[in-house]
Structure 1
């Protein structure tokens, strides 16, 4: 997955911020009790421009949570341009296909339940960092900020009391941020293979959340099954709430 996609649409919702060299950058706040200015979401920083770095510095950026695979990081490492934030690499998906007994997803419809099944450790580590006093403002990103980032942000917003409808509305903004409102777009993946980037849809995110709730009963219970404590959840809510 990479961000070789068309330039983003000229008229984007107010949640989007112009960070030169970074795709699909927007504030995740204003959804549920999540306050604005503490948690952002985006595509990768591998094309970050110096001007973009200065704008991130002005936001007070302290943490970048990178959900990409080790291969993606090797091919497209994030640029910093002197920024001194902490970076955490917390892959949503297994590093190797052999690390899971489930068939590797071949399309979006199977990707989203698969992410829910494999993302637990990544989500727990992200939540712990976001709950620390020096952890925010933070950015969560993957390659283009729609699938892996979409699930991670949805979980955080859910923990902050957001409704599924509001979470989904925010999730769907990636179609505007990535120029996917008119349908699928070709791109080159980390191996140089041409693939097709497809728009996100409400049923995709619903399939992840349904997997979580079917197997664990609730988002907090799912996270607890992976080691999150009540203290972790309280710290997150305290640190990010409006």
Structure 2
């Protein structure tokens, strides 16, 4: 598993933490990728994305992030689908806003259902692949979204977690937190991901809905949507 997962990283100049999400469960390689945003994508990076057959980008960031750090295209002709994982603002949120990374993961599970279902539907549609799912740096929001897809395609918890934890390698977080500048220009701290974080999202889903498919059904997904995802992405 380790050698295969490490080989998932792909050098796309100007894009952080870019890697193939395939090779986990029945998800085949070369059709679904994950990364940080494209706001510093270089022309060379765009050529490499074109060579990967990029057709769709699913952007999980907020509108504020998109406005501050818009993705660059360099004449790429992919379609971008904007599906914010988190509520648009704190004022309209009907539950306490997370104050740290530990609180973030159950919060994402509680609020990301519509985004996850829309992503699943798009990934199951014809003409969508290859696709990239990204947020700001590709570790938390992207981590949950990709983990849900991999789980639906039969991946084990251990393999999903191993793939998720690779963001620490991709973002230089193996030695601990590092500073970054957010969409408002403020310096913040990027913290490593940990197995228990992702597990807390899935625990919330199971505690409140019993299973991942039941959770997705509660947000409007149909069995046909889940079958289409498996058919489109599986080996």
Q: Scaled by the length of structure 1, what TM-score is found? A: 0.94
Give SS of 1:44's match. Answer: coil
Q: 2:108 aligns with which of 102, 106, 115?
A: 115
Paired with 2:92 and 2:147, the residues of 1 have a C-alpha distance of: 25
Flag structure 1 segments of 5+ consecutive residues without an equivalent: 1-11
| CA displacement 1:29-62 (0-9 Å, x = unmatched) | 0000000001000000000000000000000000
Q: Kindly indicate whether residue 197 of structure 2 is the aligned counterpart of residue 204 of structure 1.
A: yes
Alignment correspondent of 1:27: 20
Paired with 1:208 and 1:71, the residues of 2 have a C-alpha distance of: 24
Alignment correspondent of 1:195: 188
Alignment correspondent of 2:42: 49
Deviation at 1:194, TM superposition (A): 1.1
Count how many residue pairs are aligned between Structure 1 and Structure 2: 231
Q: Kindly indicate whether residue 26 of structure 2 is the aligned counterpart of residue 65 of structure 1.
A: no
Give SS of 1:87's match. Answer: strand
Paired with 1:31 and 1:130, the residues of 2 have a C-alpha distance of: 16
Alignment correspondent of 1:164: 157
Give SS of 1:173's match. Answer: helix
Q: 1:147 aligns with which of 137, 140, 146?
A: 140
Alignment correspondent of 1:9: none
Give SS of 2:155's match. Answer: coil
Paired with 1:98 and 1:168, the residues of 2 have a C-alpha distance of: 33
Alignment correspondent of 1:8: none
Q: Kindly indicate whether residue 186 of structure 2 is the aligned counterpart of residue 183 of structure 1.
A: no
Alignment correspondent of 1:5: none
Paired with 1:36 and 1:98, the residues of 2 have a C-alpha distance of: 41
Q: Kindly indicate whether residue 211 of structure 2 is the aligned counterpart of residue 218 of structure 1.
A: yes
Deviation at 1:108, TM superposition (A): 0.5
Deviation at 1:99, TM superposition (A): 2.2
RMSD over aligned CA atoms reads: 0.8
Q: 2:124 aligns with which of 106, 131, 135?
A: 131
| CA displacement 1:1-47 (0-9 Å, x = unmatched) | xxxxxxxxxxx921000000000000000000000001000000000
Paired with 1:109 and 1:217, the residues of 2 have a C-alpha distance of: 22
Q: Scaled by the length of structure 2, what TM-score is found? A: 0.97
Deviation at 1:101, TM superposition (A): 1.8
